[in-house]
Amino acid sequence: MSRRETRAQQESRSPVTLPLVVVTVERGGTLAVTVDGAPFAPEAFAPAWRRSDFGRIMDRITDQRRTPVRVEVHESDGTSFTDIITPSPSRRTRPEPEPAKTETAFDAPAAPQLVEVTAEGFIPGEDIGVAIIVTHTDASHTGRARALLEAAQFDASPTGEVVLIGRLSGNYEIVRRS
């Protein structure tokens, strides 16, 4: 191939685009983070992102995408900077899959026994916390919350109670195992 063909081929390719991470530093030192315009929030019940979380946030984002990201940081005083952050070398390689294990009927784990927990009085569609907080569920269009727990999860409560908490309504229901 000639050099001209190679250049023409290169010009016909789409430009490389990197995921865009925008970090906005609020006055109190908390961070608002978006990835390609979508919010990237801390896990449920975790405190808001802080400046000290910056490295951990970037590790999580680059680990998820396994690619460099373009980062724009907007400070509360109006200054900003841009950088490219790449995944750390140890995080770039995917772990080798474990060899497949052949299971017999005797080796297969027993199916977990599930317990249904329900309560009423929630705002339709609101997020419902299930305490011992092991999962979340949404209220149905009628405001009813339903969660499926493994019996072992329910048994982890010494009182035999689970609390469903509505984050918007403030409603909570204590459900006792029957």
What is the C-alpha separation between 68 and 58, in angstroms, rounded?
10
Structure tokens that stand for 113 in this block: 């026994």
pLDDT tens for each residue of 138-164? 888 888 888 877 777 777 776 777 888
pLDDT tens for each residue of 69-86? 889 999 888 888 888 888
| Domain segments of the chain as ranges | 16-92, 114-176
Q: Which residues are within 8 A (CB) of 26 and not within 5 positions of it... i.e. 6 or more apart? A: 32, 76
User: Do 52 and 30 contact (CB within 8 A), yes or no?
Assistant: no
pLDDT in tens, the chain (178 residues): 455 556 656 566 666 678 899 999 888 888 899 999 889 888 877 788 888 888 888 888 888 878 888 899 998 888 888 888 887 765 445 555 565 555 555 566 667 778 888 888 888 888 777 766 667 778 888 888 888 777 777 777 767 778 888 878 888 888 877 6
Q: CB burial class (10 A; 0-12, 13-18, 19+) of residue 134?
A: middle
The H-assigned helical ranges of 35-156 are 54-65, 89-92, 151-155
User: Do 120 and 143 contact (CB within 8 A), yes or no?
Assistant: yes
With 0.85 as the threshold, say if the pTM is over it.
no
Distance from CA of residue 29 to its chain's centroid?
Answer: 22
